[in-house]
Amino acid sequence: MKRHESVDPKIDRLVAALYGEMTDADRRDFDAQLKVDAALRTEWEELSGTRSLLADWEVEDRIPSFLVVEAGGRNRRASAAGWLEGFRDRFGSWFSVGGWVVAGAAAAVLLLALKGVELQKTDGGFQVNVGSRNRPVTRQTVDPLGTIPLQVSSNGDAGTSTAAYLTRDEFDKYSAAMLRMVSAYMNEYRGRRDQEIGAALRSLYGDINAKQSSQYADLLGKIDATRPADRIAHDFLRPMELGMSHADSLGPLLSPEDVEVGRNE
């Protein structure tokens, strides 16, 4: 709902006149009043003078693009560098573990490796920029046939190119270097992951061994406690523990009912 504020009709007419939001008849009345009303004329000149300065308020930033791409049969949002989103889909688990760190490192290396190419992180992914705002790559430097517009670098300045282009060969070279670099980082990450899994398995194996030894020692202790005067069971089990068979020399076996063994915790 619109709020209603009291507005001075004089102010309303001044701004309406400033932006040409008057009928021709109203404008003629306004111009006639300007000639006879000194205060109105002063306001008009101040307003017009201030407005004339605003032409200098320029915005020269590179304009970010927003692109919607269709991937995997469903619609989804992506940045101009939508390939990285697809890459994430393909290697989802890899990225979920910490792949963005690796991808970030790859991007940083790429920045150094590919002169003139800038890879910028955005909310939606990455933006690939080619050339310089001050010295953009111009159409004249490359063969117009077979060129690929990789990105638009707009600086809003008339007289300078607002687009940067790569030749097909340059694009192939850059993309091949990019893939090699990302592959190298993936391999390195997998190697580190394998090492970590191996170390974890060795640690687990050691823990299980230690626990089994402890339980075994506990079992022997309980046997000893059950028949402290009778070393037969212990002496019988010890050779078994050592992989030996002295049963014949130790006499008859105890029946299971004779040995009470407690439950291990």
Partner 1 sequence: MNTGAGGSLDALTDEQLVVLIQQGNINAFNNLSQRWETSLYRFIRRMMGNSEDARDVCQEAWSKAYQNIGSLRDGSKFRAWIHYIALNLCRDRFRSLKSKAIHSSYEEGGLETMPEGGGKAAQWATTRHVEQTSLKTLLDEVLTELPNEQRTAIVLREYQGFTSEEIAEITGVPAATVRSRIFYGFKALRRLLNERGISPTLPA
DSSP letter string, 123-192: TTEEEEEES-SSSPPPGGGS-STTEEEEEE-----TTS-SEEEEEHHHHHHHHHHHHHHHHHHHHHHHHH
Residue placing its CB nearer to partner 1 in the complex, 59 or 229: 59
**Under 8 Å between Cβ of 132 and 98:** no
Told to check if 155 binds partner 1 by CB under 8 A, we report no
Tokens describing residue 77:
């949002």
- The phi and psi torsions of 87 (rounded to 5 degrees) equal -60, -40
Please give the size of the binding site for partner 1, defined by CB under 8 A: 45
Told to check if 54 binds partner 1 by CB under 8 A, we report yes
Closest approach, Cβ 166 to partner 1, in A, equals 20
Site for partner 1, residues 57 to 76, rule: CB under 8 A: 57-59, 61, 63-70, 75
Told to check if 52 binds partner 1 by CB under 8 A, we report yes
The binding track of 190-229 with respect to partner 1, each residue x by CB under 8 A or -, is ----------------------------------------
Told to check if 49 binds partner 1 by CB under 8 A, we report yes
Closest approach, Cβ 215 to partner 1, in A, equals 57
